Structure 1
């Protein structure tokens, strides 16, 4: 995520700049060169926070989407994003192992201002609380979120710095619970994070398929942080601020980690990231990327060059630049630089690192909620927030049913295709069934169309609250070769005139019906 830390220490972080000759008294430190241009292919990697920009309420529909508009005005939408780690270490006894990186909440969308325009201060009007999703959670274990407004990005940010899970909690997985309020009385709703796995300590054993959830997959999201002498107060996170890589004490960035081919081509495999592979770190929000680097395992502040096992959660790693095998990604005084590592005098398969070249890697998750209260004065919370997991089409042509699978459905929800309400039937809290609207609702010239029509899917509560989704529905025309005229060799279209026989009249009539049916017959499928 592209974030800017308000702290002074972040302002000290320098951006990447062209390499200068190193000072005479520090031959091992070199300024990191400029990264390559932002990756233009990131649209294929977007999920969670990026989904709404390419596939949610602010999506751009296909060129065939002529007769429909998105529900409501996009400027009135309200957006909530929860960013958190995939695993959390358990605390034992009186110790408190705070979650690292700390869970973050981002709030954006002008709808917050529209809903609370009677309040004087925008930042003071929104506040929240975060805790673990257990009923026995005491008030002391609940962290109050204080949001800071970011003028440059037009969003608000808060993080829960002191959340932990004790050894009294025997669960192997848990969720974070976020409760948001406007002013002192109105509750916006409750929002859950994704599942977080509880571990006792980082695994040092070679990972197998039995512990696949602890491995780092290619194409997944990760965060990197550095902790000097294992001190919590010295933790710095690799972050991106206005296109530059910095070290932040408060805000962290989610990076997409992918394997890279030897020739520099992106390999979006679903395999695990293993030590010794060439990888690239790409900021999931801005698209800014670090140069391709080889990921190395770190043991006792030494990079091991001959290890090829999978990378696991909370492992200590180092990043070796491909063009200079002695150069490693390093943190120095809150700036990101290159460190020239000398070889080990005792083991040729190792190089000696400084403390700033050792990073801790951890997988991260992002969950997003987008809704719109502009069409109604909603006095009740937006939660429980419905979510769609998959879609299933039954039938086709002129009569098709769409079954929506997900969670938190109720009889008060209706499925909308663009600006068209679909006849919706409630089956269960996990399933809705609706009739697919005819394609003619979205284009006047639908009989002559020969291109797809894509409309966004939304869920609307009976009181007017709009829930945006990242799913869309696509109408695709059935393509046929031109029909070959039957009859005399002279060809040409035949009319069912009075001089035709009964069989020829029926044949021509069937042919005309078939042509009209082909024009109007659309196969339906779903894309998410």
Structure 2
């Protein structure tokens, strides 16, 4: 039996659907307040997270300039994924049928979709995406088509917009393309945090905030950043956008032919080569060795006092990054319709007060079949357009409660935004960063002339910034 192209593979599904007319979906159970309370308590969401660079360099002729972040990660919330798998197996699906599958592409019919390997991991990567000079688009979006082995379709998820930048190559011979491709696949390492430590590796990356500090800012887990563009020679702080872990104070320096320029003061831009000097140390630079993050001691240039010689592992590239995040939960069991479009709430605004208080939701992908819930209370909802919805604020206690959107087949979409109320939660303190402490302690002990280890293991690195002038922003570091 097939309904709208979906293969119904279990006896439960076949029995459910035989009486339906073509194009109809089986009725779903109504979401109850008890089911909503269980969801808010357990939070078994599934999350599709697409991480990518904000720019892509165009390829010319026969060359393939793979995207500067070689990979795109998709992360599933582990708990939600496990619950979904268990539910499908209870409904009669095999192990293979319950496994998610994914294909990605750049939305161009000239290139085939690439299959992504999700087996046994909560992330996957795409290393060989590129955009050719025959593609005249100035912007594009990555598309990720996700479905289960039994053909149950999640839908197509889109990344944020990626800007295409042009930089004609000097040589276009196939040999040059090969020497360009091999270092990308084998030598590029990305900075990230895993297991409470900083790592450098080729299979995963993390996004970091680059904070601009005053030159007299003291070392510590708490710091005050300042407004302004980031220029070479200034003091910065790299903070992981996910874990909050931070490296010690760094001075960002321009790199030219394996030397760090001590007197450069022009604005930092993405795709520039740069080095990170550990402030108040004896010429120590943030460096990688294989998959470990280490310190490298630079050598002064005898005839040029404004330069210090560094190795390849201490030379980094900054790339601006972005992410598209989609979160959903099948509250009353599996549904047949794709979960897309996933609504995204950008802001909430309370208008009026008392019995006529209204909440305005602004965002993307809103549809008429969505209802707003305040905690476990459903609100009267009015659809305005794909970017705006209104709802009546229910008569509930004046405390902050989570606001969620529920589709008419009882899929819950978390907004990750509490209701604007009289109370504002205090910001949590920055988590203690033992890895940064290890880097500082290593600099105060005796160090060999070239390298000193700070972490026992390493995986990869990634940081991103704005395209022309860098302000305090998210960033990815590549070496």
After TM superposition, the score normalised by the length of structure 1 is 0.65
Partner of 1:147: 118
Instruction: Report whether the alignment pairs 1:76 with 2:44.
Output: yes
| Residue pairs, 1:310-459, within 5 angstroms | 310-439=267-396, 442=397, 453-459=399-405
Q: Secondary structure at the match of 1:111?
A: helix
Residue aligned with 2:52, SS: strand
The secondary structure found in structure 1 opposite 2:134 is coil
CA contact (8 A) 1:415 1:457 kept: yes
> Could you tell me whether the CA contact under 8 Å between 2:298 and 2:309 is conserved in 1?
yes
Alignment equivalent of 1:113, drawn from 74, 82, 95: 82
CA deviation after TM superposition for structure 1 residue 277, in Å? 1.2
The correspondence for 1:252, drawn from 179, 201, 205, is 205
The equivalences for 1:31-180 within 5 A come to 69=37, 71=39, 74-101=42-69, 102-117=71-86, 118=89, 119-121=93-95, 125-132=99-106, 134=107, 136-138=108-110, 140-150=111-121, 156-180=122-146
What are the residue-to-residue correspondences of 1:214-229 with 2, within 5 Å? none
**Within 5 A, what are the aligned runs for 1:445-524?**
453-476=399-422
- Once the 2 structures are TM-superposed, how far is the Cα of residue 437 of structure 1 from its aligned partner? 0.9
Task: Give, in angstroms, the shift of residue 473 of structure 1.
Answer: 0.9
Q: Write the deviation string for residues 289-318 of structure 1: whole angstroms up to 9, x where unpaired.
A: 221110001111111111222211111000
Distance 1:473 1:186, change over 3 A: same
State the Cα deviation string for residues 156-215 of structure 1 (Å, max 9, x = none): 11011111111122222221111111114111122111121221249xxxxxxxxxxxxx
Identify if the C-alpha distance between structure 1 residues 233 and 243 changes in structure 2 by more than 3 Å, giving closer, same or farther. same
User: Helix, strand or coil: the match of 1:166?
Assistant: coil
Distance change >3 Å, CA 475–CA 293, structure 1 → 2:
closer
1:88, 1:197 within 8 Å by CA — same for their partners in 2? yes
SS in structure 2 at match of 1:188: strand
Secondary structure of the 1:365 match is strand
Q: Are residues 122 and 389 of structure 1, via their aligned partners in 2, closer, same or farther at CA, if it must alter by over 3 Å?
A: farther
Structure 1 match to 2:217: 263
Could you say what secondary structure the match of 1:165 adopts? Answer: coil
* In structure 2, C-alpha distance between the alignment counterparts of 1:163 and 1:228, rounded to whole Å: 12
What is the aligned partner in structure 1 of residue 23 from structure 2?
Answer: none
Shift of 1:231: 4.8
1:110 is paired with a residue whose SS is helix
Aligned residue for 1:253, secondary structure, equals coil
| Counterparts in 2 of 1:466 and 1:335: CA distance versus 1, 3 Å | same
1:234 to 187, 191, 195: 187
What is the aligned partner in structure 2 of residue 276 from structure 1?
Answer: 233
Q: Secondary structure of 2:264's match?
A: coil
The question of whether the paired residues in 2 share the 8 Å contact of 1:72 and 1:374 is answered with: no
User: Would the alpha carbon gap of residues 399 and 406 (structure 1) be closer, same or farther in structure 2, given more than 3 Å must change?
Assistant: same
By how many angstroms is 1:470 displaced?
1.8
| Contact 2:348 2:420 (8 Å CA) reproduced | no
SS of aligned partner of 1:475 = coil
Q: Distance in 2 between matches of 1:473 and 1:192?
A: 27
What number of residue pairs does the alignment pair up? 367
Q: Which runs of 5+ in 1 are unaligned?
A: 1-67, 151-155, 203-226, 443-451, 478-528
Aligned equivalents of 2:78, 2:231: Cα separation in 1: 39
Deviation per residue, 1:244-279 (Å, 9 max, x gap):
222212111222221233232623334322211111
Does the CA-based 8 Å contact 1:405-1:432 persist in structure 2?
yes
Distance 1:321 1:270 in 2: 22
Tell me the secondary structure at the aligned position of residue 287 of structure 1. Answer: coil
Residues 314 and 361, structure 1, Cα contact 8 Å, conserved in 2: yes
Query: Based on CA coordinates, which of the two structures has the bigger radius of gyration?
Result: 1
Instruction: From the superposition, tell whether residues 146 and 123 of structure 1 become closer, same or farther in structure 2 (CA, over 3 Å).
Output: farther
Return the alpha-carbon distance in structure 2 between the equivalents of residues 189 and 116 of structure 1. 18
Which stretch has the larger CA shift, 410-419 or 163-172?
Answer: 163-172
Q: Counterparts of 2:354 and 2:389 in 1: how far apart (Å)?
A: 21
Task: Determine if the alignment matches structure 1 residue 301 to structure 2 residue 258.
Answer: yes
Alpha-carbon distance in structure 2 between the residues aligned to 1:100 and 1:87: 8
Q: Contact 2:273 / 2:317 at 8 angstroms: preserved in 1? A: yes
Alignment counterpart, residue 163 of structure 2, candidates 186, 189, 197: 197
How far apart, CA to CA, are the structure 2 residues paired with 1:229 and 1:127?
28
Runs of at least 5 residues in structure 2 that lack an aligned partner in the other structure: 1-35, 169-179, 424-479
State the TM-score, normalizing by the size of structure 2.
0.71
RMSD between aligned residues:
2.5
Equivalent-residue separation in structure 1 for 2:147 and 2:334 (angstroms) = 16
Q: 1:319: Cα distance to partner? A: 0.6
1:66-91: per-residue Cα shift (whole Å, max 9, x none)? xx947555343211111111211111
